[in-house]
Amino acid sequence: MLGVYAKEQDQVTDITKGHVSNNHNQASKHIMAERTTNTLITHSRSLEQVRESLGQPQYEFESALSYCGDCLELLRKLPTGIIDLTVTSPPYNIGKAYETVRPIDEYVSWCSEWMTEIYRVTSPTGACWLNLGYISMPGRAHMLPLSYLLWDKSPFTMVQEVVWNYGAGVAGRRVLSPRNEKFLWYVKDIANYTFNLDEIRDPDVKYPNQKKNGKIRVNPMGKNPSDVWQIPKVTTGQGLIGRRASPERTSHPAQFPIAVIDRIIKACSNPGDIVLDPFLGSGTTMEAALKNGRTALGFELSNSYVDIAYQRVKTHLAKASQGELLKLLEEF
């Protein structure tokens, strides 16, 4: 589905009236399968182009490549229009172990550089989702959303801001306890972009059987999940294995939950598409991409984080392979 919001009611009418014939369904499935096969072949070639442009990756899987290096340098080597979706969270310039704090003007200029390069490498119907937190500006702002500084620093068109709301976090003493981060959703062409709403509908509908003029008012697949997403953050525990630690927790100090990225990838890309994370970190984007049948590309400056991402993806693929084997045995 490409950048169209108005088809939702048509889908409800078709489903409730049952106008679609079995033959039509079979033909549609055949067309979709053929398109998926062609897409996979195309993106396999695109991944080969990436390899030719960037050289030997640090780690390589059948549908994923990870490179250790400066994201700006690597982005500049990529062919134009080769990436379908970028999902990333850059350093917030707040003094974490993995970043060097820059003067704010220099930080904004640096972000503008790599955001502009992401625009160049994005396909015509592609998108970029940017996860941003807060920054302090002494004398001016205690908790300034980075989105206020960066939203217009690239040629992208911003679709909207999505708020990720979570329960756990630092308790404030003289401020309200912070419980959200922002995602900026950008597209290259506001009139024509990938958006699969049905893939991310929320089945938790308060009045699922509500009718108007004898017709069901809501989409039977669920409601639009809105622009506020309530998803628990990745929590820590003593030694990373405490009772409060999230099962997906790694040793990376700033890890976002796979559930958030899973939703973005389903909504804004299609099977076989190339998903990029230029600040790979713990590998959440790469794992979510592979989980959903996409091709993954990651850049990371830290060797240790590249290793963390590699082990994480390796574990995911091993579990997926084991699951497929068990499924085959059950069918046999």
Does the pLDDT of residue 212 top 60, yes or no?
A: yes
Q: What's the mean pLDDT when you consider all of the chain?
A: 83
Query: How many Cβ atoms are within 10 Å of 95's Cβ, its own excluded?
Result: 9
Q: Residue 117: exposed, middle, or buried by beta-carbon count in 10 A (0-12, 13-18, 19+)?
A: buried
Task: Render pLDDT for 240-253 as a digit per residue (tens, 0 to 9).
Answer: 445 565 666 565 55
Element (H, E) at 61: strand 59-61
User: Are β-strands 180-187 and 83-88 bridged in parallel, bridged antiparallel, or unpaired?
Assistant: unpaired
Q: For residue 273, how many other CB atoms are within 10 A of its CB?
A: 26
Residue with the bigger pLDDT between 94 and 124: it is 124
> Residue 327: exposed, middle, or buried by beta-carbon count in 10 A (0-12, 13-18, 19+)?
exposed
d(CA 226, CA 205): 12
Highest mean pLDDT (candidates 139-143, 247-251, 294-298, 316-320): 294-298
| Closest C-alpha to 263, from 235, 227, 299 | 227
Question: How much is the pLDDT for 16?
Answer: 32
> CA–CA separation, 190 vs 185, rounded Å?
11
Q: Which residue has the tokens 């937190």?
A: 133
pLDDT in tens, 6-27: 333 333 333 333 333 344 445 4
CA angle 138, 146, 187 (to 5 degrees): 165
Give 79-107 pLDDT, tens digit per residue.
Answer: 999 999 999 999 988 877 778 889 999 99
Q: Per CATH, is 8-331 categorized as 2.60.120.10?
A: no
Q: What DSSP string describes 217-256?
A: -S-TT-B---SEEE-------GGG-STTS-TT--S-SS--
Triad 290, 123, 36: Cα angle to 5° = 50
Q: What ranges do the domains of the chain cover? A: 8-331
